[in-house]
Amino acid sequence: MDNARQRFGELLDAHRKIVFKVGNTYCRHPDDRADLAQEIATQLWRAYPGYDPSRPFSTWMYRIALNVAISFVRSDGPRQRNAVPLDEDLHELADESAGDHESAQRVRALHRFIGQLEPLNRALLLLYLEDRSYREIAEVLGISETNVATKISRLKQRIRSEMPD
């Protein structure tokens, strides 16, 4: 058991950014993010005996983390209302664009857009923005690759129609 606990701790530490990204995507307030991170870690530990080491840990971890986040948000209405994506990549983009008012506005508009998405589409976009393959996105979300492609295409169309030029 100690070996399993140690290995789990090492894997969790190596992939901790996943927990932070999911927490930042689904919760605005630090207390909610901390609660979600704790719940993700707990559920990962409970599911760890079923983890297949021949498969990528990050894919397995994303699947559990996103499912926990979606349940977490759905279980509490106020939390859903306060959900705003705070993905590090978007913040870096906003920082780089600080001198360019128009670009900063586009980043803020993208934040608002993502924050208004349903939880599954938010998860899909998070994985897509991380350059995950359609196959991996499908595996994480438990949908077909064709469905991933269709949903991404629709999200892109929605972004084009709802985002300022």
Query: Which pLDDT tens digit goes with each residue over 114-149?
Result: 888 898 899 999 899 889 999 999 999 999 999 999
Q: Which spans in the chain are helix H?
A: 2-14, 16-26, 30-47, 57-74, 77-82, 88-96, 101-116, 119-129, 134-141, 145-162
Model confidence pLDDT, tens digit, residues 5-34? 999 999 999 999 999 999 988 888 899 999
What's the number of CA atoms in the CB half-sphere (13 Å) around residue 83? 27
Task: Report residue 119 as tokens.
Answer: 């939880």
What was the pLDDT predicted at 151? 96
Phi, psi of 33 (to 5 degrees): -60, -40
Helix pair 16-26, 2-14: axis angle to 10 deg: 60
Taking the C-alpha atoms of residue 58 and residue 55, their distance in angstroms, rounded to an integer, is 9
Phi, psi of 55 (to 5 degrees): -110, 155
* Angle, alpha carbons 93-134-120 (nearest 5°): 70
Q: What is the rounded average pLDDT for all residues in the chain?
A: 84
Task: Classify residue 50 by its DSSP letter.
Answer: G
